[in-house]
Chain A
Amino acid sequence: MISSAVEALLERIKNGESLERADLRDHVLDHATLENVRLSRSDLEGVNFEGADLRQADLSCANLREAYMPGADLERANLQKANLEGANLEGANLQFADLRHANLGGATFERANLKGARLSYAQIDFANLGRAILTEAQLDNATMCQAYLGGADLAKADMQHIRMVETNLEDSNLTDANLTEAALTQTLSEGVDFTNACLRGAAFDNTSLANSTLKGVDLRNCRFLNANLDRVILTGAKLFGFEVASDELGRVLADWVDFSVEGNDRLKVAGTEMVDYYLRLKASLSAGAGLNSVRSKRFFGPGDVLRGATLEFREDCQVEIESHLENCTIHLAHGTTLTIGPNGVLEGCQIVGGGDIVIDGEFIEGGASPGIVGPRRLHVGQTGAIVAAVHQASTLTEFGFEHGCSLSLRIRKE
Chain B
Amino acid sequence: MSESLTTKQTVLEEGTEIEGSIRSQCPITVSGILKGDIAAPSLTITLSGSVHGQVKVSNFKSEGEIAGEIDAESVELSGHVGDQTTIRASSLQANLSQNGSNGKLQVTFGNCDLHVGGAAAKSSTTLVKVAPKKKSVDEHPKIEREPWVEPMSEPELTPIQRA
Which residues in A have some Cβ–Cβ distance to B below 8 Å?
Answer: 17-24, 41-42, 61, 63, 65, 81, 83, 85-86, 103, 105-106, 125-126, 128, 130, 146, 148, 150, 166, 168, 170, 186, 188, 206, 208, 324, 343, 345, 347, 362, 364, 376-377, 379, 385-387, 392, 396-413
Contacts and interface: CB of A to CB of B under 8 A. Distances in A.
A105 B145 contact: yes
A29 to B, nearest CB: 14
A62 to B, nearest CB: 11
B113 A410 contact: yes
Q: Which 3 A-B pairs have the closest CB atoms?
A: A406-B117, A106-B143, A406-B119
Given A387-B120, A408-B119, A85 B105 contact: no
B137 A345 contact: no
A402 to B, nearest CB: 6
A409 B114 contact: yes
A362 B94 contact: no
Interface string B1-18: 111111100000000000
A125 B141 CA distance: 10
A20 B154 CA distance: 14
Contacts of A387: 119-120, 122
A63 B132 CA distance: 31
Contact of B148 (A83, A130, A324, A396): A83
A83 B129 CA distance: 29
Contacts of B131: 186, 206
A348 to B, nearest CB: 10
Contact of A364 (B107, B124, B150): B124
Given A41-B151, A379-B96, A403-B91, A345 B124 contact: yes
B109 A392 contact: yes
B3 A400 contact: no
Contacts of A399: 94, 96, 107, 109
Nearest to B103: A398
B134 A188 contact: yes
26 contacts: A17-B5, A24-B1, A81-B74, A85-B143, A86-B143, A105-B143, A125-B145, A126-B144, A150-B137, A166-B132, A166-B135, A168-B137, A188-B134, A385-B119, A396-B109, A398-B105, A398-B106, A400-B95, A401-B93, A403-B93, A404-B91, A405-B92, A406-B116, A407-B116, A410-B112, A412-B111
